[in-house]
Every structure is written in structure tokens, then in C-alpha cells.
Amino acid sequence: MGKAFELIDESPLYRGFFNLSRYRLRHTLFAGGWCEPLVRELFHRGRCVAVIPYDPETDRVILIEQFRIGAVGDKAVPWLVEIVAGAIEPGEGPEAVARREAEEEAGCRLRELIHIGDFYTTPGGCSEKVSIYCGLLDGPIQEGVFGLSEEGEDIRSIVLSADEALAWLAAGIIDSAIPALALQWLALNRDNLRRSRD
């Protein structure tokens, strides 16, 4: 039997900044047949983009730090070190979002985008899928405080050498999955990026 599922019904639980729905469904089993109906809640997040700004000439990256509601109750200080990211709005492509968010959140411009991959972040209960890029920097690298005040953003940009950023990851200072994935990709590919700029 092939893989299949049946959506029995869907009901909205909450509609606000994010949306939450309850699904009743069933799906085929690896051993054959169908499972009993399941009830699952789904947090709707949609498509997002994340980008790690990188300068291959100086081997430096820009990371950002901001308050994150998801870390409240787990961390005494719920500010996370991450990479630039944002939601894809209607009519936008992922590369346009990467460029827009790099300017809004880190005050930087990107000359080239290298697609790292597309990943579900927490598929056990959230629809979010993120396209991750490495953005090669165009122009000077700066630290500062950025973000859109109308979106309640207060974002600090941090410039580090790639080695320092990887040390932060190893030390657990960076404890969010998306920047961890991007930095691990950079660790595997930075020599090639640097050689291709010679």
C-alpha cells in the first residue's frame, strides 16, 4: 500500500499574529492498513527565509541577537543569537526576502545568494518551512541596532570571524537550529567560497 492520508475535518482554534488549527485525520501504516483517527493541532507559520551574511575576503559573518518568546520559561535571559530571517509575504520570492531582511535586521547588502536548502523546522506541530541561504556581503560590515520599530523589532547585529561564530556554536551560545545549520554548512564550504574569490 502506498503512503496516503485522509483529512476528516479541520477546525480553527485561534486566528491572530499566528494561526492554530485542529485536524482530525488518519494515515496509512507501514505494516499496511490505516491508523485510527488522530487529533492533532497545527501551528501555521508558512514559508520563511533565513540568510547568513558572509564576507569571504575577511572570513567574517554577521549574526543577530534578539528577544525570542519561544525561549521564555527555558532561559533566564531569552535573547537568542541567530541569523537574519523573515517571513515570505504574498508576491515575494525567497531571494527578495533574504535581501530585504538583511538590510532591515543587519543593515547590510548582499551581492550574491547561495541556496543552502529548504527545511521544515518543527514538523511535529508547525507548518514552517525555511529556505536558508548564505549571502555574500556587498560593502562594509557594521555592527549596530536594527529592525523595524513598527514590527517591534530591536535587533543587534554582531560581526564575528567564522572561527569565532563556530566556537560560539560549539560552546552552546548559539542554541537555535537554523543558525546552527547555516554555520555548519559554512564550515563545510567556506574554503571553497574563499578560493573562488581569489
Q: Which residues are catalytic?
A: 151
Distance CA 186, CA 56 (A): 10
Cα dist from 75 to 82, 84, 85, 181, whole Å:
15, 21, 21, 21
**Helix/strand/coil for 83:** coil
Strands 110-120 and 19-27: unpaired
Which ranges of the chain would DSSP assign to H, the alpha helix? 94-106, 162-171, 177-196
Spatial CB neighbours of 70, under 8 Å, sequence gap ≥ 6: 78
55: cell is 564576507
Which ranges of 85-128 would DSSP assign to H, the alpha helix? 94-106
